[in-house]
Amino acid sequence: KVIVNGKDMKNKFVNSNYPTNKLIEAEAIRYLDIKLKNRSKLFRKNKKKLKLLVALDISKKIYEEQLKIVSELYEKKNYKIIICPHPVTASNLKISNHLSKLLTKVPFKKLLKLADIVITSNITVAAVDAYLSGLPVITFLGNDMLNFSPLRGKKNIKFASSVDEIEKYINHFLK
């Protein structure tokens, strides 16, 4: 049996011909205190720098790709970037000096209140947290990744595999 949280996940299993009698519906209680609201209105034209919150993946291969993207965004100096490591990898994270000052130990949930846009990896619950907080989300898909996001097709969710695509979607969210 498989526990699914919500209609979307249940529909994905059912559409994949998974036996419905083996599905158990449940709700994720971690989301009870998050109110869905559209915070994209927070963008102000007079803001000096947009705040990008980058939630790193648990996988070393993926978070290293994310850090390359962050480094390119940082060099452009158009954004205030906050890097939030995955809790499991936070203590072993190897990060270059110029990015280390962007790293925080503040819990992701608290950082959501500071962010304008959240950049996540493909397979993380952080994207759902950000989405439910009403923030625009850009999910980084590496060049060889399939899109497993439960947020595919949702409003204010974009998928990118390059810095150029990320910046295109940042501009899209600013309109």
Of 38 and 118, more confident: 118
4-20 pLDDT, tens digit per residue, is 777 777 888 888 888 98
pLDDT digits (tens, 9 = 90+) for 115-156: 999 999 887 888 988 988 889 999 998 777 778 787 888 888
pTM confidence score? 0.76
Residue matched to tokens 């990015």 = 99
**3-class DSSP assignment, residue 164:** helix
Cβ neighbors of 90 (< 8 A, separation 6 or more) are 105
